[in-house]
């Protein structure tokens, strides 16, 4: 390398010698000898990574030297031993410039540590007079000296958490999703905890916050995707860029899927090569309620068709958190209050659910009521219902079709029943030969009016007729009365 430089210097000297020997005498130098553009290079701030290397953020600037005189000149350089500024030429040698010629220099700022750096490149010039034996004969340019100044700063990025731990405390266990009603249709109502990340340096810094979990979530992910899609463990990331002193809030959600302690480690990476990092622990405890259902078997005993017995189921939250509870009945013969409705039981709260039997047939009535909740220990509880139905007992007033009374009123007749079980009635009128001359069909209610008309809407003639009443009770069973006589006299 040194040999190559010596050869280059000899070639330059020979070229200048030939030029000078063949050129006329030089006139006096002008007032301005050398123009420097710019005279000051400010590299700003270079950001170092954790290894204090600025490889990913080196700064480069350039300056230009131009010979503004009317003579060939040789430039000499001197500077301090500041290795952070690297000029792209070996300044131990001379630099030759002919009149009007310019030379560009590239300077790289590559600091090794945090701090502020300054350097000065001093430049002097000598006029070339002639050459002797292959060597330049120069004379100093009196009073000429100029400098190029370099300044640069090196800083290290700095992002930090506002705490080294985020503890959610005790939170409800995530619903088991046994019923569609337990899905969180509005995730934005879920409790969100935030952590703060601050840029503690004086330079703009990029960062990434990440963690792996199946119970902790970024609130932005939860709001956009919903709960159901977040069942498997996965990595969550959030990237950002913060100016010096700027902060960002990151929202987290804890949805435990079991009882016990859960934790994960979140990592904050930053810097040009993302080798700087900080960590924090995220933790929380999953707690479950305890649902007590009593009794789990209800025996109504022997009842008849007219009985409407009621017994109670008592639901009690014996746990430390609220429970979501829903009851579903699969029985047509039993009426259950609050079925198919989602209710919330706070810790210690008790609810009484009434179960009433409505027998519609004879024999054994067996059925189950399903109690669903987000109690992780007993999410599904069945309550069995039993009853033995016998024939209905008749009251002193009589029930059914034979208890229906027919009485005359102005313009016709009225049928009425005192039996509360009667839901509808039908009146059929016959002549003495048994032919149907009027049929009201089944009509709802315990009263039925007849104007003494036949099926064609014509008044019946005076005389004796036969009639029969058919009743239908609240369970859909029908009963016919005996054939009776009625007289029409107008």
Same-domain check for residues 14 and 140: yes
Same-domain check for residues 281 and 181: yes
CATH number at residue 33: 2.60.40.10
| Separation CA 307–CA 392 (nearest Å) | 8
Same-domain check for residues 415 and 454: yes
Rounded to two decimals, what is the model's pTM? 0.45
Same-domain check for residues 270 and 297: no
For residue 223, the model assigns a pLDDT of 56
Interior/surface letters 57-95, b for 16+ CB within 10 angstroms, e for the rest: bebebebebbbbbebbbbbbbebeeeebbebeeeeebbb
Same-domain check for residues 255 and 276: yes
Of 390, 409, 430, the domain-final residue: 390
Residue 12 lies in a domain: yes
Residue 21 lies in a domain: yes
For residue 13, the model assigns a pLDDT of 47
Residue 418 lies in a domain: yes
Same-domain check for residues 354 and 479: no
Same-domain check for residues 272 and 187: yes
Same-domain check for residues 274 and 178: yes
The answer to whether the CB of 365 falls within 8 A of the CB of 330 is: no
Residue 444 lies in a domain: yes
* pLDDT tens for the chain, residues 1 to 490: 444 444 444 454 444 444 444 433 333 343 478 899 999 999 888 877 654 444 445 788 999 999 998 888 888 888 776 678 888 755 555 678 889 999 898 988 888 787 888 888 888 888 887 766 666 677 888 778 888 999 988 887 788 888 889 998 887 776 543 333 334 444 445 678 899 999 988 888 888 999 999 888 887 765 555 444 444 558 888 999 988 889 999 999 888 877 789 999 999 988 655 567 889 999 998 877 688 899 999 999 988 877 888 899 999 988 777 888 888 887 778 888 766 567 888 888 999 988 888 887 888 888 898 888 877 777 889 999 999 987 654 433 345 667 788 888 888 899 888 887 888 999 999 988 778 899 999 999 889 999 999 999 999 999 999 998 998 887 778 888 888 888 888 7
Q: Which residue has the tokens 């309550």?
A: 383
For residue 158, the model assigns a pLDDT of 80
Same-domain check for residues 15 and 135: yes
Same-domain check for residues 169 and 137: no
Of 130, 155, 180, the domain-final residue: 155
Residue 395 lies in a domain: no
Same-domain check for residues 209 and 256: yes
Number of domains in the chain: 4
Of 261, 287, 313, the domain-final residue: 287
CATH number at residue 429: 2.60.40.4070
Range(s) of the domain holding residue 308: 291-390
Same-domain check for residues 373 and 470: no
Residue 472 lies in a domain: yes
Cβ partners under 8 Å of residue 369, min gap 6: 313, 327, 328, 329, 330, 331, 334, 336, 339, 355, 382, 383, 385
Residue 226 lies in a domain: yes
Residue 396 lies in a domain: no
């Amino acid at each position: 390398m040194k040999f190559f430089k010596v050869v280059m210097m000899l070639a330059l000297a020979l070229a200048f010698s030939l030029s000078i020997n063949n050129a006329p005498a030089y006139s006096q130098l002008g007032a301005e000898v050398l123009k420097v553009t710019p005279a000051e290079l400010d590299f700003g701030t270079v950001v170092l990574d954790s290894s204090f290397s600025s490889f990913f953020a080196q700064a480069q600037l350039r300056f230009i030297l131009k010979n503004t005189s009317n003579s060939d000149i040789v430039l000499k350089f001197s500077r301090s031993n500041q290795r952070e500024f690297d000029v792209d030429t070996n300044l131990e040698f001379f630099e030759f410039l002919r009149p009007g010629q310019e030379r560009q220099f590239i300077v790289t700022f590559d600091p090794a540590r945090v701090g502020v750096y300054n350097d000065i490149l001093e430049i002097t010039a000598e006029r070339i007079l002639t050459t002797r034996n292959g060597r330049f004969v120069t004379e100093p340019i009196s009073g000429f000296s100029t400098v190029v100044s370099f300044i640069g700063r090196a800083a290290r990025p700095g992002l930090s958490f506002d705490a080294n731990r985020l503890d959610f405390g005790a939170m409800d266990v995530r619903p088991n999703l046994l019923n569609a009603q337990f899905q969180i249709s509005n995730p934005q109502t879920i409790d969100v905890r935030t952590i703060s990340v601050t840029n503690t340096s004086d330079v703009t810094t990029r960062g990434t916050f990440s963690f792996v979990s199946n119970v902790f979530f970024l609130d932005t992910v939860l709001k956009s995707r919903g709960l159901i899609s977040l069942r498997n463990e996965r990595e969550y990331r959030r990237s950002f860029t913060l100016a010096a002193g700027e902060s960002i809030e990151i929202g987290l959600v804890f949805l435990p899927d079991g009882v016990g302690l859960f934790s994960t480690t979140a990592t904050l990476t930053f810097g040009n090569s993302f080798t700087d990092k900080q960590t924090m622990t995220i933790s929380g405890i999953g707690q479950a309620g305890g649902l007590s259902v009593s009794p789990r078997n209800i025996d109504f005993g022997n009842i008849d068709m007219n009985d409407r017995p009621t017994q109670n189921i008592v639901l009690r939250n014996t746990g430390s958190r609220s429970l979501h509870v829903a009851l579903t009945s699969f029985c047509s013969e039993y009426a259950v209050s609050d079925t198919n409705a989602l209710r919330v039981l706070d810790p210690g709260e008790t609810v009484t659910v009434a179960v009433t039997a409505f027998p519609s047939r004879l024999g054994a009535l067996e059925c189950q009521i399903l109690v669903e909740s987000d109690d992780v220990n007993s999410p599904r509880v069945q309550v069995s219902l039993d009853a033995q139905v016998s024939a209905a007992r008749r009251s002193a007033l009589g029930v059914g079709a034979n208890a229906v009374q027919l009485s005359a009123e102005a313009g016709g007749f009225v049928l009425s029943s005192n039996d509360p079980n009667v839901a509808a009635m039908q009146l059929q009128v016959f002549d003495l030969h048994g032919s149907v001359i009027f049929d009201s069909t089944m009509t709802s209610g315990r009263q039925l009016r007849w104007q003494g008309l036949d099926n064609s809407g014509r008044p019946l003639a005076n005389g004796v007729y036969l009639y029969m009443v058919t009743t239908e009770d609240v369970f859909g069973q029908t009963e016919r009365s005996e054939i009776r006589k009625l007289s029409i006299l107008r």
